[in-house]
Structure 1
C-alpha cells in the first residue's frame, strides 16, 4: 500500500519567528517515526504566516493519518508552553491511498468518503473533504476492506449459493398437489392481513401452527435440555451492528420510530387534522416521530447473544441451551412473498446454544436425530438435508464449501407437490441448523471460566413447518400420519360467516 497525505496545521499565532525551531522539531520527529516504520517520510514542508504545510508518505504499517495526529499532539506539547502556540485546526488538502487487489475489478464501484479509481489490479482511494474527526475514527482501513470486499463480490454476482446434498428420505406419495395457503384461504382458515405480507390465522390454522410449536418443543428442545427465555421484539441498532444484520440486510428490516414526545400539546395539530379529515396526515405525523434507532425482531438470536455480552459463563452451565418463542420476526420480502411460507411477519422458535467445540458438535448430532424423528416418524415427509452457505456469508456475496468444516449451516428442504416435478421444482427450505464458531462469541465478548466457546442456532419457522407438512399431507386430518394425529386428530369447528 502507498499512502500520500497532504495536510497542514493552522496555529494560534504567526510562525515566522520560530521557523528554525519548527523545522528542527519536524526533522527529529521524522527520525523518531522512522524507528517504527522506515517508509514514513515527512516532506515538502512550508511555513506561511500561521500555517504549516507538509506531506506524509508511507508504504508500511504506520499510516500517515496516525502520524499526523501524533505529530499534532507532540507539536502542541513542545511549543505550547515555550511559545504559547497551539494547533487550532488540521487541514487535509488531499489523501490518496493505493493498494493491490487480488482480482481485477469487473466494473467501477462507489464507497462513501472517497472516489475509487482502478488500474488493472491496483485501486486508488482519493479522499476529499475530510477532517480531523474523520481521521480519529479510523475509517481508512475499513474503507480499504470494503473496496476489496466489493471487488470480490463482483465475481459472485449471479451465482447460486453453495449447496451440497448430504441426505434424503426417498420419494413419498403425496396426498394431494394443491397450495395449502390458497386452500386454507378458500375454507376461511386464513385471511390476508391488513398489511402486506401478514396473515390472520383463524382457529383451524392456529390449531395446526400451535401443534407445530408443541411438537418442536416436546420432541426436539425439551429432550435435549433447552430452557425457554422471553426476549423483546425491538432490537437496537448497536446490536445489529455487532451481528452484521445492518451491514448485510438493511433493506429487509422493519424500522421502529418512537414518538418524539408524549406531550399532547405537541400532538394537538395532528389530532385535530385526524378528527376533522378522518385521514392520517403522514407529513404531520413525521414531525412528531423520532429518527429510528431500532427495528423489529429479524431473528431472535441477536438479542439472546446481547444478554450474554461481557459475561463469563461457569463451566457447570455449559453448554448453554436456551430458546425463545415469543418474539415475532418481521422481514420485508417485497416481491418475494408467497403464501404463509414467504411472509413479512412470521412465528419462529429460536434455539441458541453456547459451549465448547466438542459440546456443540455432539449437540448437532443429537439435534439432527431429534429432527429426523419429527420429520420421518411424526410428519412422514419427503425431505432432504444439504450443506449451504451460512446467511452471513450469503450477505457478503461469498459462496464456499462448508461441508468439510465443523462450522456451517445445514438446510432441511421439503418437496412441495403443488410446485410440480420433484426433480425440477424448487423445494422449500423449512428448517436449518448452524454452528457459527466464535463469530458472535467474539462480537459480544462472551467468555467461559476456562473453555474456548462457540455458538450456534437453529431457527424453527412454524409457518414453514406447517406449509411443508400440509403441502404433502393435505388438510383432511383423517389422511394425516398417525404420528401427527397423536398431537392433533381433529380441528376446531371455527366460525361460519353469512
Structure 2
C-alpha cells in the first residue's frame, strides 16, 4: 500500500525532520519519499492508509506549531571544488573495505579503519590537546538506565534507545531457554519468548552519547578553579529505524568528545575557542563544509519549543561536510552548550552554584565517510596538508 499526504502548512526546512520521524510510525514501512510537497509512504500496515495518514498528520501538527523561524543561519563556509563525485559507500563495499551487516551496521577494514584512527588522533592532537589541563578518560559502551534518565534522553529521544537485559538468574529458566534454542536448531528471529517471564526489566542501555558518562563520573562533586576539561572516545548506539539507510546514519558509531564542566564563562569561552579550532581544521584539510546553528531532532510533542529555544539561544552548532554524490551535507561535528541542565541533574557544583556544561563532538565514521565522499580513495587526490599529516601519522604508528 502507498499512503500520500500533503505537506501544505509545513515549511520546507521541516520536511527532513518529518521524513525522519515518519519511519517510526509503523514497523511495516518499506519506503518514505518527499516530493512535490507530499510525503509518500509505502507500507503493509494493518492500520491501513487511513491509520498511517492520521499519524503522519499528527507529526505534521507537531512540527508546524507556530512560526519559530527555522532559518538556515550559516556562521562559516569553506567552499572547495573537490575531485570525487562517486558513490563512495558503493565503492567501499565493492572493494570489500566495508562489509555491510545490515543498514547502519558496518565492519570497517583497511584503509578505512586506519583513516578512522588517524582522524581520532588528529582531533585529540589538533583540537583537544590545545585546551589547558585536558584529561583523557575511557568510558563503557553501556550506561545505566538511571543515569540516562537524568539526562532526559528517555523523554527527548526515546526512539534511539537500545535496551539491554539478560536471562533471569533462575536455573530452570536458563536451562529451558538453552533447551528451546537447541530444539529449534539454533536461534531464530521468530523464536517464541515470554520476555516478562525470562528476562528482568532492563537496568542498562547502550550509551547514546559519550559525554553522559563524564557527568555521571562527576556526580555530587564540588569542582575547584574554573572547571575541568575532559576528552574521551566511546562507542555510541542509536536506533534510527529505516533512516539507517541514509548516508552516515549508523546504528553503532564512534564519538570523540571534548567536554567542558565548570563556571559559565569557562565553558562559553572554551566552546567559542573550539569553534575556531573547527574552522581552522576545515580550512587546513580543505573539506567543503559549513558551520550553522542547529537543533537536536527532539522526538516529543514540544519539539518546536525545545528546538526553537536551542536555536534562539545558539546552544548547538554543527559543522556539516558536503557529500557531492547525493548533493547534500551531513553533520560531522557539533558544538553544544547545555547551560546548567546536567550540573543540576547530577549535582555537580562550582561552589554553591550548579556547574554548566558544554561539549564538542566528532563523529569518526562520518568524518571518514564525508572526506572520502569528497576526495575518494586515491591518496594522490587528497589535499596536501591532509595527505602529509596522514603519512606522518602512519610512519609514527609503525
One of 350, 368, 377 as aligned partner of 1:448: 350
User: What is the CA deviation profile of residues 279-321 of structure 1, one whole-angstrom value per residue up to 9, with x for unaligned ones?
Assistant: 226334744322222210111222221222221112x3x3211
What pairs up with 1:304-383 in 2 under 5 angstroms? 304-314=214-224, 316=225, 318-325=226-233, 327-338=234-245, 341-377=248-284, 379-383=285-289
Q: Is 1:283 the equivalent of 2:192?
A: yes
Give the whole-Å Cα distance in 2 for the aligned partners of 1:404 and 1:158: 15
CA contact (8 A) 1:209 1:466 kept: yes
Counterpart position of 2:364:
462
Q: Structure 1's 490 and 285: CA in aligned 2 closer, same or farther, altered over 3 A?
A: farther
Counterpart position of 1:400:
308
Structure 1: runs of 5 or more not aligned = 1-149, 421-425, 493-498
Counterpart position of 1:48:
none
Q: In the TM superposition, what is the alpha-carbon distance from 1:413 to its structure 2 partner?
A: 1.2
TM-score, scaled to structure 2: 0.75
Q: Is 1:274 the equivalent of 2:200?
A: no
Structure 2: runs of 5 or more not aligned = 1-57
Q: Is 1:416 the equivalent of 2:323?
A: yes
Give the whole-Å Cα distance in 1 for the aligned partners of 2:249 and 2:68: 19
Which 4+ runs in 1 deviate beyond 4 A? 157-161, 390-395, 401-404
Q: Is 1:184 the equivalent of 2:99?
A: no
- Aligned pair count? 331
CA contact (8 A) 2:157 2:298 kept: no
One of 134, 147, 150 as aligned partner of 1:239: 147
Q: In the TM superposition, what is the alpha-carbon distance from 1:164 to its structure 2 partner?
A: 3.5
Larger radius of gyration: 1
CA contact (8 A) 2:295 2:316 kept: yes
CA contact (8 A) 1:249 1:395 kept: no
Give the whole-Å Cα distance in 1 for the aligned partners of 2:321 and 2:164: 34
**CA RMSD for the aligned pairs?**
3.0
CA contact (8 A) 2:323 2:374 kept: yes
Q: In the TM superposition, what is the alpha-carbon distance from 1:157 to its structure 2 partner?
A: 5.5
Q: Structure 1's 430 and 155: CA in aligned 2 closer, same or farther, altered over 3 A?
A: closer
Q: Structure 1's 273 and 491: CA in aligned 2 closer, same or farther, altered over 3 A?
A: farther
Q: Structure 1's 391 and 456: CA in aligned 2 closer, same or farther, altered over 3 A?
A: farther
Q: In the TM superposition, what is the alpha-carbon distance from 1:391 to its structure 2 partner?
A: 5.3
CA contact (8 A) 1:209 1:462 kept: yes
Q: Structure 1's 396 and 154: CA in aligned 2 closer, same or farther, altered over 3 A?
A: closer
Give the whole-Å Cα distance in 2 for the aligned partners of 1:161 and 1:271: 56
Counterpart position of 1:229:
137
Other structure's SS at 2:148 match: helix
Give the whole-Å Cα distance in 1 for the aligned partners of 2:67 and 2:92: 36
TM-score, scaled to structure 1: 0.61
Q: Structure 1's 490 and 446: CA in aligned 2 closer, same or farther, altered over 3 A?
A: closer
Give the whole-Å Cα distance in 2 for the aligned partners of 1:292 and 1:154: 30
Give the whole-Å Cα distance in 2 for the aligned partners of 1:199 and 1:171: 30
Of structures 1 and 2, the one with the larger relative CO (CA 8 A, separation 6+) is 2
Q: Structure 1's 177 and 262: CA in aligned 2 closer, same or farther, altered over 3 A?
A: farther
Give the whole-Å Cα distance in 1 for the aligned partners of 2:79 and 2:119: 23
Give the whole-Å Cα distance in 2 for the aligned partners of 1:433 and 1:248: 19
